[in-house]
Structure 1
């Protein structure tokens, strides 16, 4: 019971963080590892836990997604789906020892991406200038998302800016929709492979959904910089903890 309380609290916090600013993986993944779930299964279960939030977000941006050029949307979605499948399959062939060795670096990368995401997007906008969609860049980002979901939203926004997109609402809608597609493929792959710890996932899905709902008024009340500081602090702490585990 104490383990499930920890998981529920982490998932509720993750749902809230994802609604407010992103970074929910920094809570769900470490909580699963802390409660004894092997790292590969913990990563898969974490992806399942936050999955419902993407569907709600995609529904909320339905108008922006529906207004997007249909042929372009199909192409980008296909690249994302392919990359998500490749990333998910890479996780299936990763041993717990191998994945544990790269997790600290992935967490640190996600934290740095979140911390410098706005600068990254600004740099991408300056370099973009209406650049054409790149299948290779979309594929690489999706592979990362299928393998380890942390910081995916920020990376996607930077990618869209590099492609020359400017409308933030359209970019957020596309980001949420693609995250849902990618996560759906990952969840299906992990489920079929038997990687998901379903009792833990079920509790966390409910808690994450409630946390996402609770995050909306919190997002309106809290200063953005305060939320960003909390996410960066959590991500940094988790990165250090997993580096310590690796070295210990």
Structure 2
């Protein structure tokens, strides 16, 4: 016996499709909190239910907001002492996210798809090399008698702004890019940087979704299912992610990043 379909506008959504979107939301909320790239789970599922790409993108962005907030709350202990840093970097995320949301409605869907695998690959290389590079930078500072800027300086602000432009456009793997940039330019633990990453992702998702509310069409069933699922996943991800040692967290970032690159290439050229 098959579940009865639910009609929404001109599109028929079955109970199984709704369950798939909900489970995808939980998975995305979990992986976003730990690493990022949860959109690579939800987006294909939304497309499989029959949503057009732009509708799927904007519905996904709105639905993932509770997950980002939930994950940030789960990492609140790691945010201690980072208020000034978070406020400064959130400005970059806000500006970039708004710009990216505007680009989604003006550029063709393939505009970012060519460059994104390259960006994610570079980010992964930086994540892998981050411990060695950090030691090299610290040794150089010691020789010169200088110290790291607590907020990363203009270079980090600009890098995160550009990453947030992409995040407002599509969001997939933006967390990996955030972690690689902050890991290179901030002298702090990976777990504390991950906590900041969750805040920045929440800012980008929120500002992009608020922009889309006035100019794009949402699928509200998908939004609600992803919102509830991602909120649950955010808590699960925080509990799991905070227990991971730095090497394991870095390894997970790389593993998810490789999957992201493969999926992005298949989507672009497959």
So what's the TM-score if we normalise by structure 1?
A: 0.78
Deviation at 1:28, TM superposition (A): 0.7
Shift of 1:27: 0.7
Q: Structure 1 unaligned runs (5+)?
A: none
Q: Which is greater in Rg?
A: 2
SS in 2 for 1:57: helix
- Would you say 1:166 and 2:188 are equivalent positions? yes
Find out whether 1:35 has 2:61 as its counterpart: no
Listed one character per residue, the Cα deviations across residues 180-207 of structure 1 (whole Å, up to 9, x for unaligned) are 1222101111122233222111112112
TM-superposed CA distance for 1:90, in Å, is 1.1
Residue 25 of structure 1: which of 39, 56, 60 is its match?
39
Distance 2:172 2:100 in 1: 13
- DSSP-derived class of the 1:195 partner: coil
- 5 Å-filtered alignment, 1:64-143, equals 64-68=78-82, 70=84, 72-94=85-107, 98-99=108-109, 101-102=110-111, 104-105=113-114, 108-109=117-118, 112=121, 115-116=124-125, 118-119=127-128, 121-122=130-131, 125=134, 126=136, 130=148, 132-134=152-154, 135-143=157-165
Which structure 2 residue ranges, 5 or more long, are not aligned?
1-13, 142-147
Separation in 2, partners of 1:225, 1:168: 8
Partners of 2:74 and 2:234 within 8 A in 1:
no
8 Å contact kept, 1:107–1:150: no
Q: TM-score, normalised by structure 2?
A: 0.73
Tell me if the contact between 2:128 and 2:254 (Cα under 8 Å) persists in the aligned partners. no
Cα distance change of structure 1 residues 236 and 142 upon mapping to structure 2, 3 Å threshold: closer
The answer to whether the aligner puts 1:50 opposite 2:59 as a matched pair is no
What is aligned with 2:10?
none
* Structure 1 residue 8 corresponds to structure 2 residue 28: no
Q: Is the 8 A contact 1:120 1:158 kept in 2?
A: no
Deviates more, 1:33-42 or 1:166-175: 166-175
* Native 8 Å contact 2:97 2:208 kept in 1: yes
Cα RMSD, aligned residues only: 3.2
